[in-house]
Amino acid sequence: MGQYADYIKNHPNKDGYFGKHGGAFLPPELETAFKDITEAYARIRSSHDYISELRRIRKYYQGRPTPVSHAAHLSELIGTGCQIYLKREDLNHTGAHKLNHCMAEALLAKYMGKKTLIAETGAGQHGVALATAAAYFGLKCEIHMGEVDIAKEAPNVTRMKLLGCKVVPVTHGLKTLKEAVDSAFEAYLKDPVNTIYCIGSVVGPHPFPLMVRDFQYIVGAEAREQILEMTGNLPDTVIACVGGGSNAIGMFAPFIDDPVELIGVEPGGRSGKLGEHAATMTYGSGGIIHGFKCYLLQDDKGEPGPVHSIASGLDYPGIGPEHCHLKDEERVRYDVAMDDECLEAFYLLCRTEGIIPALESSHAVAAAIREAKQRNSGAILVNLSGRGDKDLDYVTENFGFGDEYLKDWDL
Ligand SMILES: *Cc1c(COP(=O)(O)O)cnc(C)c1O
């Protein structure tokens, strides 16, 4: 066993810290509620009933295991001999990895006797996944969403409503994600006994970064076994995109003690100027956001800074505390992919593999292409976190069908 053999067991520590990141900075009214969640989770984390129920749901409802696909045509086109493999979370029910933690959070809520799931959503992806889980378990669901996002993301609002979820429009401030988080927290504060706040990534106060990592661990665990079976070897490199960091941590965690390079890809956006990217690891510094410590994009006043990414699921000014620790430890390398590289990867995967990826996932594909160009053999495993159906209108209306982006490729 290597240096990281007991890593998962020892991280976070009992106070929810990964090195100097994480913790729980809560208003006093929520301390009891979070203590209850922590205790309940510690109890059921190893309970036979919970684990076997979750296994059953993953297999017979979500459609797990999702496959690993060899991107043979893409690899051939790159032409260096390096092979790219894709973990197909786009084939998970609802089209992304998010359902992995939403189903597990809802099951926990049910065990705890909660009646209502509360959350915020930006582009609507977390809202749809949580509304799906609520419908499955017969729980109520209340999703807070900025009015600006409601207008922009009509199909996801329709989905949530069809799934029986109450969508609460947030009308103050910039009417986007940050205000939606505040509004959802207020609603939770009113009744923390009957409701539970379901965080949508490996962020927020302890124990959420721990729980969501546990719930996403299945992605890397399956992929590790599948690629060993397919190729006889571990991959040289594993790559995932990082917004809050849930799909990446789920993919990385089972490889942490292996001699495998891990790369997290953040949105480089249009440029390195504050407000034109969401590359927390590259440009951020230590701070506190939404109840936990992490690297953070901040303005002159130390407030969370404005962010941009072509992929709305990646534009968060903070990042999961465990990723910050893995950066400090130099166990994971964090890199960026720019909007343009992401679009090129998006179009290329459509044409070479018949897979339309989410713009978030396209960041990871872009980094894989860049790496593969520089190698002459070996294998790169990419977490394809979701499918791109939600992005079709935006991409084609603004950037067309890809000819411009693919002109340097011999297709
Ligand atoms: C939400 C989302 C992400 C970003 O969230 P993480 O917590 O960083 O994984 C990435 N890909 C897809 C498809 C998403 O929907």
List, for residues 216-269, the tens digit of each pLDDT value.
999 999 999 999 999 999 999 999 999 999 999 999 999 999 999 999 999 999
In a domain, 178, yes or no: yes
The two beta strands, 285-289 and 292-296, are antiparallel
- 41, 116: one domain: yes
In a domain, 4, yes or no: no
Best residue for ligand 1 mutational test, from 92, 247, 263, 319 (most atoms within 8 Å of Cβ): 247
Condensed to tens digits (0 to 9), the pLDDT of residues 158-181 reads: 999 999 999 999 999 888 888 898
Task: Using DSSP, state whether 269 is helix, strand or coil.
Answer: strand
Which ligand 1 atom sits closest to the C-alpha of 212? 7
- 142, 185: one domain: yes
Q: Give the pLDDT score at 315.
A: 87
As given in the structure block, the two tokens for residue 281 are 């690891």
Is 330 considered catalytic here?
no
Residues in contact with 244: Cβ distance below 8 Å, sequence separation at least 6, in sequence order? 200, 201, 202, 203, 316, 318, 319, 320
- The helix, strand and coil proportions of the chain, stated in percent and rounded to the nearest 5, come to 45, 20, 35
CA of 356 to the centre of ligand 1 (A): 15
What are the helix (H) ranges across 261-320? 280-283
Task: Give residue 160's domain range.
Answer: 19-59+98-209
Q: Give the pLDDT score at 324.
A: 98
119 touches 140 (CB < 8 A): no
Residue 348, classified by CB atoms within 10 Å of its CB into exposed (0-12), middle (13-18) or buried (19+), is buried
The residue nearest atom 7 of ligand 1, judged by CA position, is 246
CA of 245 to the centre of ligand 1 (A): 7
Write b or e for each residue in 206-238: b if 16 or more Cβ atoms lie within 10 A of its Cβ, otherwise e: bbbbbbbbbbbbbbbbbbbebbeeeeeebbbbb
Residue 131, classified by CB atoms within 10 Å of its CB into exposed (0-12), middle (13-18) or buried (19+), is buried
Best residue for ligand 1 mutational test, from 100, 101, 201, 217 (most atoms within 8 Å of Cβ): 201
89 touches 219 (CB < 8 A): yes
- 173, 231: one domain: no
Is the pTM of the predicted complex or chain greater than 0.85? yes
Choose the final residue of a domain: 209, 241, 270: 209
Domain count, the chain: 2
Q: Give the pLDDT score at 287.
A: 96
Which ligand 1 atom sits closest to the C-alpha of 203? 7
Which ligand 1 atom sits closest to the C-alpha of 126? 1
The residue nearest atom 13 of ligand 1, judged by CA position, is 386
Nearest CA to 17 out of 317, 334, 328 is that of 328
Q: Give the pLDDT score at 1.
A: 61
CA of 138 to the centre of ligand 1 (A): 25
Residues in contact with 184: Cβ distance below 8 Å, sequence separation at least 6, in sequence order? 118, 119, 120, 142, 143, 144, 197
* CATH number for the domain harbouring residue 158: 3.40.50.1100
CA of 410 to the centre of ligand 1 (A): 31
Which ligand 1 atom sits closest to the C-alpha of 387? 13
Q: Give the pLDDT score at 152.
A: 83
Residue 46, classified by CB atoms within 10 Å of its CB into exposed (0-12), middle (13-18) or buried (19+), is exposed
pLDDT in tens, the chain (411 residues): 688 989 999 999 999 999 999 999 999 999 999 999 999 999 999 899 999 999 999 999 999 999 999 999 999 999 999 999 999 999 999 999 999 999 999 999 999 999 999 999 988 999 999 999 999 999 999 999 999 889 888 999 999 999 999 999 999 988 888 889 889 999 999 999 999 999 999 999 999 999 999 999 999 999 999 999 999 999 999 999 999 999 999 999 999 999 999 999 999 999 999 999 999 999 999 999 999 999 999 999 988 999 999 998 898 999 999 999 999 999 999 999 999 999 999 999 999 999 999 999 999 999 999 999 999 999 999 999 999 999 999 999 999 999 999 999 999
Nearest CA to 208 out of 96, 291, 314 is that of 291
- 40, 179: one domain: yes
The residue nearest atom 5 of ligand 1, judged by CA position, is 243
Choose the final residue of a domain: 209, 225, 242: 209
Identify the active-site residue in 98, 114, 175, 327: 98
In a domain, 11, yes or no: no
d(CA 76, CA 48): 45
Residues in contact with 158: Cβ distance below 8 Å, sequence separation at least 6, in sequence order? none
Choose the final residue of a domain: 193, 209, 225: 209
The two beta strands, 166-170 and 261-269, are unpaired
Best residue for ligand 1 mutational test, from 99, 246, 323, 332 (most atoms within 8 Å of Cβ): 246
CA of 360 to the centre of ligand 1 (A): 6
CA of 396 to the centre of ligand 1 (A): 21
CA of 137 to the centre of ligand 1 (A): 23
Name every protein residue with a CB atom under 6 angstroms from any ligand 1 atom. Answer: 96, 98, 125, 201, 241-248, 313-314, 358, 360-361, 385-386
Is 385 considered catalytic here?
yes
d(CA 283, CA 35): 33
- 143, 261: one domain: no
Phi-psi region of 292 (alpha: psi -120 to 50; beta: other; left: phi over 0): beta
Identify the active-site residue in 120, 179, 353, 371: 120
- 187, 224: one domain: no
- 46, 74: one domain: no
What are the helix (H) ranges across 191-245? 208-231
Instruction: Determine the residue type at 172.
Output: H
